[in-house]
Amino acid sequence: MRVVFIGTGNVATILGRAIHGAGHSIAGIYGRDTVKTGALTNLLQARENGPIDSITAEADMYILAVADSAIESVASHLPIHQKLLVHTAGSVSINVLQKAGRNYGVLYPLQSLRKERVDIPVIPFLVDGNTPDTLTIIKDLAASLSDKVVVASDAERMKLHLAAVIVGNFTNQLYTLTADFCEKNKLPFSVLFPLIEEVATRLKESPPQSFQTGPAIRRDQATIEKHVSLLEEYPEIKNLYAIFTESIQAYHKNKR
Amino acid sequence: MRVVFIGTGNVATILGRAIHGAGHSIAGIYGRDTVKTGALTNLLQARENGPIDSITAEADMYILAVADSAIESVASHLPIHQKLLVHTAGSVSINVLQKAGRNYGVLYPLQSLRKERVDIPVIPFLVDGNTPDTLTIIKDLAASLSDKVVVASDAERMKLHLAAVIVGNFTNQLYTLTADFCEKNKLPFSVLFPLIEEVATRLKESPPQSFQTGPAIRRDQATIEKHVSLLEEYPEIKNLYAIFTESIQAYHKNKR
């Protein structure tokens, strides 16, 4: 398949590498920033490049990988018509692409993508298309990149994006607050890495509720009080400690 | 080294397998439950077993792997004297073992240990001892099981146990609430596994705050409002969404 990228950020870079690596050809890279456009053109061995309003490359799919808030306006000004245009956003409706051309869809990588990453992580894709034929083309491209391709409507994709924010961003904020707590107490945060990995990877075996352990589910009030007393200088963590302890105990209240 | 276990739960089972697997000998298994004691004796090829008040096996170290709340009372009634006794708890003082014998310490596995697990996870150990010589023996045993052995005082161990509760139990509660949200919306929770793994494993590369992404840090109010509107029927998640969004924005307020 011949693919054009509009945008030069994390998504364009990692998706571009995955698509190039899967044997497709990158027909063009278009972006606002000449330096970034040039660099990505080299990296992906793209045939053409230029500013967004100058798209001339012929391709089977045009992938719009720009900021969520820019998708609609960029799409409506693209000098391409009757082409297949997709966006890559979790929480933007497929319908914002309606004006741009006859065929459109969504190719949303449900993963945290960072340019800096050397190897490409496993990327599940949520896909959608305005017609069955369009959807088939998008699904086929996604299937050439990943074993996990799920057809998802706007509503389903937005809910999974919300779920991704919780298990990705909120979890990462718990790591952040804990890393700071360790640093302030001169303790090595890295000693927690094996536990963090274990908790994340065992989900493949059984649902998370079956793995819950710790003082909250044991209703071990002595340990809970010791922990709270250690958090006097950390009001934000103390508040989260109370909220999560209550949440765990309420969730498992009929199980002990 | 010759080791005796007092207790037959998750910690005794997994630590026992690790210690047996490292070439040490299990001199005895003592517990309240005859069936469990017998099963663990077979699994670890232990030489003797019996109820807790009947310990006769000679060993270099007696590992007390019972419930936190039982450690002090069990330790004070053990028919062993002048022996090295350790407990395996994160939030129990080393001093509760003072009565039991001349030498005592702590061998705390900072990991979520479950009997059912087929392979043994990477286990960091926090160790402590009542004398330098005792500490050396405990450190040596731990070092034969793990590359990550940290000497930690009561205060340090309790703080790291608290940190483990946050990154282990609280994170698992976020997974639990999200799995339920997916189930109620007929969406596949498993499609989030690669993201969850990525967020957990990339901590080895850089601190978590450097990886924060998503609508909160982008101050993408349109997406935040869409997400909140999807949570009308999930007041607990809605509350957490507001708390974490505020936490992320406050944390990164000077960085954008």
pLDDT digits (tens, 9 = 90+) for A174-213: 999 999 999 999 999 999 999 999 999 999 999 999 999 9
Does residue B254 register a pLDDT over 70?
no
**What residues in A contact B179, CB-CB < 8 Å?**
207-209
So what's the pLDDT on residue B256? Answer: 47
Report B:124-153 residues touching A (Cβ under 8 A). 124, 126, 148, 150, 152
Whether B150 sits inside 8 A of A188 (CB atoms) is yes
- Tell me the CB-side half-sphere exposure of residue A56, using CA atoms within 13 A: 6
pLDDT digits (tens, 9 = 90+) for B104-149: 999 999 999 988 888 999 999 999 999 999 999 999 999 999 999 9
Closest CA to B115 of B44, B186, B221: B44
Look at the alpha carbons of B127, B129, B132, B135 in this order and tell me if their dihedral is positive or negative: negative
Model's pTM, two decimal places?
0.94
Comparing alpha-carbon positions, the chain A residue that sits nearest to B109 is A195
Residue B241 contacts A where some CB pair is shorter than 8 Å: yes
How many separate helices (H) and strands (E) can be counted in chain B? 10, 8
pLDDT at site B234: 97
Q: How far apart are CA A167 and CA A169, in angstroms?
A: 6
Q: Does A220 reach chain B within 8 Å, measured CB to CB? A: yes
Interatomic CA distance for residues A52 and A71, integer angstroms? 12
Q: Does B150 have pLDDT greater than 90?
A: yes
Mutate to test the interface with A, among B11, B69, B112, B189 (most CBs of A within 10 A): B112
Least confident of A252-256, B4-8, B235-239: A252-256
Is A68–B208 a contact, with Cβ atoms under 8 angstroms apart? no
Strands (E), B110-256: 125-129, 149-151
CB of B159 within 8 Å of a chain A CB? The answer is: yes
Calculate how close chain A gets to B115, using CA atoms only, in Å.
Answer: 12
Distance from CA of A46 to the nearest CA of B (A): 28
Question: A180 in helix, strand or coil?
Answer: helix
Nearest CA in chain A to B223: A91
Q: In chain B, which residues have their Cβ closer than 8 Å to the Cβ of A110?
A: 191-192, 194-195
- Residue A25 vs residues A2, A46, A65, A198: alpha-carbon distances, Å: 5, 7, 17, 39
* A-contacting residues in B 84-113 (Cβ below 8 Å): 91, 110-112
**pLDDT tens string A117-168:** 889 999 999 999 999 999 999 999 999 999 999 999 999 999 999 999 999 9
Mutate to test the interface with A, among B247, B248, B249, B256 (most CBs of A within 10 A): B247
pLDDT per residue as tens digits for the range B204-245: 999 999 999 999 999 999 999 999 999 999 999 999 999 999
* Closest Cα in chain A, distance from residue B119 (Å): 12
Question: Does residue A100 surpass a pLDDT of 90?
Answer: no
Contacts of B88 (CB under 8 A, 6+ apart): B11, B15, B63, B64, B65, B106, B107, B108, B109
Please give, rounded to a whole number of angstroms, the shortest distance from the CA of B42 to a CA of chain A. 26
CA dihedral A114, A119, A122, A125 (to 10 degrees): 50
% of chain B residues with pLDDT over 90: 90
Residues 36-55 of B with CB under 8 A from A: none
A159, A191, A197 member nearest B185 (Cβ): A159
Whole-number Å distance between alpha carbons of B195 and B204: 16
pLDDT of A116 reads 85
Q: Residue A172 above 70 pLDDT?
A: yes
Burial (CB count <10 Å: 0-12, 13-18, 19+), residue A221: exposed
Beta pairing, strands A103-109 & A125-129: antiparallel
Query: Which pLDDT belongs to residue B111?
Result: 96
Interface test with A, best of B189, B196, B228 (most A CBs within 10 A): B196
Give the per-residue pLDDT at B115: 86
Residues B94-104: what's their mean pLDDT? 86
Task: Give ipTM to 2 decimals.
Answer: 0.95
Using CB atoms within 10 Å of the CB of residue B198, give its burial: 0 to 12 exposed, 13 to 18 middle, 19+ buried: buried
pLDDT of residue B72: 93
Q: Please determine, for residue A256, whether its predicted confidence score (pLDDT) is greater than 80.
A: no
- Determine which of A111-115, A156-160, A224-228, B137-141 has the lowest per-residue pLDDT on average: A111-115
CA nearest neighbour of A110 among A93, A123, A120: A123
pLDDT the model gives residue B77: 87
Quick check: A235 contacting B, CB < 8 Å?
A: no
Question: A112–B213: do the CB atoms touch at under 8 Å?
Answer: yes
Averaged pLDDT of chain A: 95
Is A118 near chain B, with CB under 8 Å? Answer: no
The verdict on A173 touching B (C-beta cutoff 8 Å) is yes
